[in-house]
Amino acid sequence: MQLNHYLNFNGTAESAFEFYRAIFGGEFAMLSRYGDLPNENSASLSDAEKNAILHISLPINAHTVLMASDINEQFCAQRNIPFTQGTNHYISINLDAHEQDEAHRLFDALSQNGAVEMPLEETFWGALYGAFTDQFGIQWMINCQLKNHVS
C-alpha cells in the first residue's frame, strides 16, 4: 500500500505541476485530460473543459507520488462541496490488484459515518476506485489498480 497526496485545482493543475516538476525534477508518470474520457462522458464538455487536467502524477521519490486534477462540476456533482483553495486535498491510498479485499475493507471502514463522493467500483482506467469524506472531514481516495491503463 502507498499513501500519496492528491490535490484538486480550479483550472490551474497543469501550471502548478509544471512548477512542481521544475522544483522536484523528474517526468510526469501520467497526464490525462477530461477530453481523454470515453466519448459518452466527454461529449458535453467545452473545449476548455476537455483541455483541463483529469489526472496528473509526478513521482517525487521511490515512495511518494504527488497527484492532482482540475475539478469539473459535471464529474464532481456528488461532492456538493464548493472548491476552496487550501482545503482541496485528499489522502490517496494506492493498492495493487491482489489487494482488492483490502481496498474494500479500507473504503468501508474509513467511510463509516462519513459522506461517499463516489462508491468503490471499477472504472474506465482499469481500477477499483472510490472517494469519500470521513466522519472527521478528511477527504480520501482508494485506488486499487486492476490493470495497466494506457492513455
Q: What are the structural domains of the chain?
A: 8-70 (3.30.720), 86-151 (3.10.180.10)
pLDDT at 118: 93
pLDDT of residue 88: 77
Spatial distance between the Cα atoms of 144 and 138, rounded to a whole number of angstroms: 20
pLDDT tens for the chain, 151 residues long, are 888 989 888 898 999 999 999 988 999 999 999 998 887 777 888 888 899 999 999 998 888 899 999 988 776 544 556 667 766 788 999 999 999 999 999 999 999 999 999 999 999 889 999 999 888 788 899 999 998 654 4
Distances (CA, A) of 78 to 72, 82, 100, 117: 11, 11, 24, 6
Predicted local confidence at residue 138, as pLDDT: 81
Per-residue model confidence (pLDDT) at position 86: 63
Predicted TM-score of the model (pTM): 0.74
pLDDT of 128 reads 96
The terminus-to-terminus CA distance of the chain in angstroms comes to 23
Within 13 Å and on the Cβ side, how many CA atoms surround 127?
A: 19
Under 8 Å between Cβ of 8 and 71: yes
| pLDDT at site 17 | 92
